Structure 1
Amino acid sequence: MSHARAAGRTAVRLGAAALAAVLLAACGGSPEGAAGGADGKVTVTVDLFGSFGYEEAGLYAEYEKLNPGVTIKQTDTEDEADYWKSLQTRLAGGGGLADVQAIEVGRIASAAQQQADRFEDLRAYGAESLKSGFPEAKWAAATGKDGRIIGLGTDVGPEAMCYRTDLLAQAGLPTDREELAQRWSTWEGYLELGRQYQAKAPAKSAWIDSVGSLYSVMIGQQKERYYDASGTLIWDTNPALKAAWDASVSAAQNGLSAKLDQWSPQWNQAFAAGSFATLPCPAWMLGYIKGQAGEAGKGKWDVAKLPAGAGNWGGSYLAVPRAAKHKKEAYALIAWLTAPAQQAKLFRKQGNFPSTTGAIAQIADATDPYFSGAPIGRIFGEAAKAAPVQVLGVHDQNIAQQITNALGEVERKGTAPEQAWGNAKKGVQNTVG
């Protein structure tokens, strides 16, 4: 899931395409963990956002078993924007920080370029030895201008479309993943199917959860979104962004949206209630769907190829703040969690797509019984190969938030699209300065 004020800063290039350039297994040795404290025991604190899946996949328990005396304590914030705001406050004050802090890919340029001195340089703990196991772009995004390494990559977000087979069947639409991929090979095809769905949809069910998620997945298919490769802001003149905006506005005006704020309690409840039939889903969303829809949702969901090609939405990093209490132990933990064996296990259990080349090779044949036996290894693997190498800028996440807020005004308040766009521009100006 989801994360420099001057536009002239050089943006970092990152994308899932680089991940699969070489599907050669990397050794990616896993450190045997942490030395204990004075009494031989230590608690490593981990602060995350969204759903990383480590606890659910049993990785914490496995690590604690491998490292007697180590206890892992996790806290998490569901909404990444709330998490980031809190993290900024704590970084500025130097207190209240966990030993391990997550950083979303939309924030990594800001952290690496503007806040590198507030995180441990992981080279001091031997991180350079792990470099060959990660694609160059994933590694470079967390590297400061002085070579400082501030984080290790967890996952990436190759995209597909998750959908409810039972709801589509009730509306008289096909449910076969290959047929659907053909029918919605373009975004216009996807919206047309949505209009057909709405004509015969089950009561209290919409085609998509929100137009914000439609915008996010469409813009995730672009190489340049908010900045160009020189670091210049281009968001308000980018034709690809305008196309994503227009499609999202069209979906709102056609009544295709359930009008739900992603990550809100209402959105969470909607998974079990069947409030929407389709959901653009980066790989990490699979685990979230399982958690919210529960056992009753097993076999009702499936996964198909995304309309209009591949894209990337999300992916994160694990970092160790300078103010961490257990820095050595924290590094040992994040090196283990991001090693190929653990990344592969996490994908098979939770859907988080690996960022290490060795793990990608291990999960090519993965299927998921919860999602009707969908070949998730193939679907997301092909998406990872084809996704563009994205240009990341220091305010990516903030700009995206302003645009999705504006789209929310269109779908929930009926605000005129031109007025909402103007509100987005003002919001971005206030954010970027």
Structure 2
Amino acid sequence: MKPSRRSPLAKAAVLAGSIALLATGCAAEASKDAEPASADNPITLTVTTFGTQGLDTLYEQYEKDNPGITIEATNIDTGGNALTDWKTKQAAGAGLPDVQAVEEGWLGQVMTVSDSFTDLREYGADEISGEWVDWKVKQATDPEGRIIGYGTDIGPMGICYNAKLFKDAGLPSERDEVAELLGGDDATWEDFFKAGEDYVEKSGEAFYDQSGFVWNAMVNQLDEGYYKADGSLNVEGNTELRERWDLLSEAASEGLSANQTQWDWGKGQAFVDGSFAVMPCPGWMLGNVKGKVESAGGDSSAGWDFADVFPGGPANWGGSFLTVPATSEHPAEAAKLAQFLTTASSQATSFEQAGAFPSNLEAQKSEAVTGANEMSEFFNDAPVGEILGNRADGVKAQFKGPQDSVIQEQVFGPAVQAIDSGTDGASAWDKALATLQELEIK
């Protein structure tokens, strides 16, 4: 046998493709709960989430309301690292929690092994599916009609901006004025980058933090992204994708990107030192902005605000699901917990805690979401829930193929870093396509 010539990247992609075989061979058949948890029958439920989801107070409430239940929660810093954690444990057929959070970007990989997750219809999911936006439920339904996840948040997008920096640059700084500056109801990416060029010229500083988040938003708002709706790959020859790439790379060459490290931002310092002035923000990102500002010693006086506008039209980035792996020894109790964490009242609490905009229809209309809260106070009293509700109008669920997150992180991740570091857009695009071929992604 000849030795493999595959690179480490290619091997990483193959790992995802082999999950189904490994999981089938290793996963044990989990038994149903013998009896409900109680003080006399204590049960520990393990939960793995990621990022900022605003669930901690809900865990405490659930334990209080359900004697005998203890929740052991693990929160992984990013969705990408959570994906690695899940793939490793899924392939081994061991170590998975009772409740596993799944990010929209890697739901396609999960769906290739959907039979290794509990069908929540066994615990009434089909009877309450109307509580969530319909496309969220469809995303979590496999080809056999099995519902494998309760929807948590969705990621409609607005623009976070620093009003103080806009004002210092001589640009409009009021929320409605900024929305108009960026193009208003008919905002385009050309409008966004033109405003950015004006800001860079007047301030001498970058406009947005780094190109990766902008690119993600540009891709997510297309009718079809890295995959077509029929499941076929949609990168090479995709003129819409290439046109957007050219716009982004030109903006980077004009100094609009601050070339910040994703998810770090100099330990949050870049949010308070004027390094950049705007960033694309789905609801869950608001909690990240607030947390990073505070970690750098800042507060609401740092000047961050939230505008009801988004270039290119409605876009959704992210959103999660709570699933119950079939390896859970307590699937009924795990399903009950997952359902509780995604009820209207629970999603309203998550929004107040982390800005995670609900997929639950009742929660979207609740006073906790549409009214004043801690998140809106931080963002200069912006009606963040109302804005996110507006931005959710017209959002469509984009089909996410099995290697969607791999393409985003391993193919275009290095490419956006390259254009931020001075590589011309055409060369970075060609390198991305070469990596796509190397990974043998289909």
Give the TM-score category using the shorter length: 0.7 to 0.9
Give the equivalent residue in structure 2 for 1:405: 414
Q: Pick closer, same or farther for the CA change 1:268–1:296 going to 2, 3 Å.
A: closer
Q: Which runs of 5+ in 2 are unaligned?
A: 1-15, 18-34
User: Counterpart amino acid of 1:84?
Assistant: L
Match of 1:378 in 2: 386
Structure-2 separation of matches of 1:86 and 1:345: 27
* Aligned counterpart, 1:270: 270
SS of alignment partner, residue 399 of structure 2: strand
Q: Percent identity?
A: 38
**Alpha carbons 1:49, 1:78 under 8 Å: kept:** yes
Report deviation, 1:252.
Answer: 1.3
How do 1:141-220 and structure 2 match up within 5 A?
Answer: 141-185=139-183, 186-201=188-203, 205-220=205-220
Amino acid at match of 1:379: I
Q: Is the 8 A contact 1:181 1:307 kept in 2?
A: no
**Structure 1 residue 381 displacement after superposition:** 0.7
Structure 1 equivalent of residue 230 of structure 2 = 230
User: What residue in structure 1 maps to residue 84 of structure 2?
Assistant: 85
CA distance in 2 between partners of 1:101 and 1:272 (Å): 34
Structure with the greater alpha carbon radius of gyration:
2
Q: 1:245: which partner in 2? A: 245
Matching residue of 1:51: 52
Q: CA deviation at 1:416?
A: 2.9
CA distance in 1, matches of 2:166, 2:246: 25
CA contact under 8 A between 1:285 and 1:351: conserved in structure 2?
A: yes
Change (3 A) 1:161 1:431: farther
Structure ranking higher on relative contact order (CA contacts 8 Å, 6+ apart): 1
Kept after mapping to 2: 8 A contact 1:219/1:240: no
Match of 2:9 in 1: none
Match 1:427 to one of 405, 430, 435: 435
Q: How many pairs does the alignment contain?
A: 397
| TM-align CA RMSD | 2.3
Distance in structure 1 (CA, Å) of the matches to 2:265 and 2:211: 17
Whole-angstrom distance in 1 between the partners of 2:318 and 2:94: 28
| 1:109-128 per-position Cα deviation (integer Å, ceiling 9, x unaligned) | 3212x111221221222222
CA distance in 1, matches of 2:274, 2:94: 42
Deviation at 1:214, TM superposition (A): 1.1
Question: 1:271 deviation in Å?
Answer: 2.7
Which digits, 9 at most, give the CA deviation of each residue in 1:65-122, with x for residues without a partner?
212332222212222222212211101112221111111112213212x111221221
1:157 Cα deviation after fit: 0.4
Instruction: Tell me if the contact between 2:364 and 2:370 (Cα under 8 Å) persists in the aligned partners.
Output: no
1:182-226: CA deviation from partner (whole Å, max 9, x where unpaired): 111132222222222223437xx5211101111112222211112
In structure 1, what residue type is equivalent to 2:84?
K
Q: Structure 1: which 5+ runs fail to align? A: 6-33
* Aligned equivalent of 1:31: none
Q: Distance in 1 between matches of 2:275 and 2:67?
A: 45
Which stretch has the larger CA shift, 346-355 or 310-319?
Answer: 346-355
Asked if the contact 1:78/1:263 (under 8 Å) is kept, the reply is no
Q: Which residue in the other structure is 1:365 paired with? A: 370
The answer as to whether partners of 1:318 and 1:334 remain within 8 angstroms in 2 is: yes
SS at match of 2:362: helix
